[in-house]
């Protein structure tokens, strides 16, 4: 991501965090209900108990909270580029591991990698940028990658948010693996992709 995009995204989230604090709206979900629905869909990729999990764009650590609530024991790591999010997540969940980092610079591999909302913000050459990230993240998953995106059939791309054609994303994912599952029946503006090794 180029420095201008990075700074714009940092400002975007830091402003919302200053306004909302420990709230789903800080990471620009409309509320906890829709956030939890997305987590439910992502976590259905496979039985996760005992697995290593990377939460890309972890925000305030709410996916880890979801795992605790659902009593799913995982070896959890969360990464985010927003320092304030990482600091607060560590305060909220001292037993979990959080890192300040960019999703394009992973070094380790994980059983499953999850991306909830981190592909939604417009960047320079959004499609090329996010498709490259999908390839990189899938390479670092031992078993699978699950991510959600905004559906261009029901959500228009604008200066803040980028949306995608489900068929185009699916075709791209199938260039990386023939084991691709699409879920698009849970929220009107979203779809989720599972990619398996």
C-alpha distances out from residue 180 to 45, 86, 99, 144, Å = 11, 31, 29, 10
Of 16-25, 74-83, 161-170, the poorest mean pLDDT is in 16-25
Q: Are 114 and 83 in contact (CB under 8 A)?
A: no
More confident residue, 41 or 26: 41
pTM here? Answer: 0.89
SS3 assignment for 30-63: CCHHHHHHHHHHHHCCCCCCCCEEEEECCCCCHH
Q: Are 128 and 62 in contact (CB under 8 A)?
A: no
Confidence of residue 158 (pLDDT cuts 50, 70, 90): confident
Instruction: Tell me the pLDDT of the chain averaged across its residues.
Output: 89
Structural domains counted in the chain = 1
pLDDT > 70? residue 21: no
Q: Are 148 and 89 in contact (CB under 8 A)?
A: no
Query: Within 13 Å, how many C-alpha atoms sit on residue 12's CB side?
Result: 18
CATH of the domain at 36: 3.40.50.150
Mean pLDDT along residues 82-91: 92
Q: What is the C-alpha separation between 190 and 107, in angstroms, rounded?
A: 29
How high is the pLDDT of residue 25? 47
Q: What is the C-alpha separation between 68 and 51, in angstroms, rounded?
A: 14
How high is the pLDDT of residue 105? 77
How high is the pLDDT of residue 132? 95
Confidence of residue 180 (pLDDT cuts 50, 70, 90): very high
Of 30-39, 55-64, 137-146, 156-165, the poorest mean pLDDT is in 30-39
Q: What is the C-alpha separation between 20 and 25, in angstroms, rounded?
A: 6
pLDDT in tens, 103-142: 777 889 999 999 998 999 888 888 999 999 999 999 999 9
Q: Are 111 and 51 in contact (CB under 8 A)?
A: yes
Share of residues in the chain with pLDDT > 70 (%): 84
Q: Give the structural domain span for 166.
A: 3-196
């Amino acid at each position: 991501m180029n420095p201008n995009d990075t700074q714009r995204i940092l400002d975007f989230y830091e402003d919302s965090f200053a306004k909302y604090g420990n709230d789903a709206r800080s990471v620009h979900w409309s509320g906890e209900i829709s956030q939890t629905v997305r987590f439910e869909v992502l976590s259905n990729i496979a039985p996760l108990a005992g697995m290593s999990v990377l939460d890309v764009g972890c925000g305030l650590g709410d996916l880890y909270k979801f795992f605790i609530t659902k009593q799913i024991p995982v070896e959890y790591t969360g990464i985010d580029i927003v320092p304030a999010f990482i600091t607060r997540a560590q305060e909220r969940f001292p037993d979990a591991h959080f890192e300040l980092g960019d999703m394009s610079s992973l070094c380790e591999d994980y059983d499953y990698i999850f991306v909830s909302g981190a592909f939604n913000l417009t960047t320079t050459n959004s499609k090329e940028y996010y498709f490259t990230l999908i390839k990189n993240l899938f390479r670092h998953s031992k078993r699978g990658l699950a991510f959600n995106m905004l559906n261009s059939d029901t959500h228009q791309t604008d200066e803040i948010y980028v949306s995608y054609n489900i068929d185009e994303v699916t075709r791209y994912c199938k260039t990386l693996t023939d084991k691709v599952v699409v879920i698009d029946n849970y929220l009107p503006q979203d779809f989720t992709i599972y990619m398996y090794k």
